């Protein structure tokens, strides 16, 4: 039985995916793993852009906003996974790292999309 936190994370990831698909992104990978790195979503934007998306869902902002929980270590792991995938795909286009921060409201999950959040 998934915990409430696990369920919230799963719901957040699904909401983030639907949000991006509705904006014209195409899903390439979900929960892509390379060594110790896991990338929540890897999306195509047009033919020339690969977007590595970290989804952070928090039940409240009591301890900080969701986007603040993408640590420098997590960023390093995302970059490592991105390098690996670019090599594997022989990707010559651009890449970008986005954060989708989700938090509950009375209407569902509120989404903040931070494009090009870090390098």
Q: What is the pLDDT of residues 98-118, one digit of tens each?
A: 999 998 888 888 899 999 998
57: pLDDT strictly greater than 90: no
What integer pLDDT is reported at residue 62 of this predicted model? 64
Alpha-carbon gap, residue 14 to 18, rounded angstroms: 6
Non-local CB neighbours of 75 within 8 Å, separated by 6+ positions: 97, 118
Q: Quick one: pLDDT band at residue 1, thresholds 50, 70, 90?
A: low
65: pLDDT strictly greater than 90: no
The answer to whether the CB of 41 falls within 8 A of the CB of 30 is yes
Give bridge partners of residue 110 from the DSSP assignment: 103
94: pLDDT strictly greater than 80: yes
pTM of the model: 0.89
CATH topology of domain 4-118: Trna Endonuclease; Chain: A, domain 1 (3.40.1350)
């Amino acid at each position: 039985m998934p915990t409430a936190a696990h369920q919230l994370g799963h719901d957040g990831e699904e909401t983030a995916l639907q949000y991006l698909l509705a904006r014209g992104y195409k899903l390439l990978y979900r929960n892509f793993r390379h060594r110790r790195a896991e990338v929540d979503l890897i999306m195509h934007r047009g033919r020339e852009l690969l977007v590595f998306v970290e989804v952070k869902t928090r039940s409240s902002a009591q301890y900080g906003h969701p986007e603040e929980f993408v640590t420098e270590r997590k960023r390093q792991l995302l970059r490592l996974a991105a390098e690996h995938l670019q090599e594997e795909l022989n990707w010559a286009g651009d890449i970008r790292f986005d954060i989708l921060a989700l938090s509950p409201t009375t209407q569902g999950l509120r989404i903040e999309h931070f494009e090009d959040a870090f390098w």
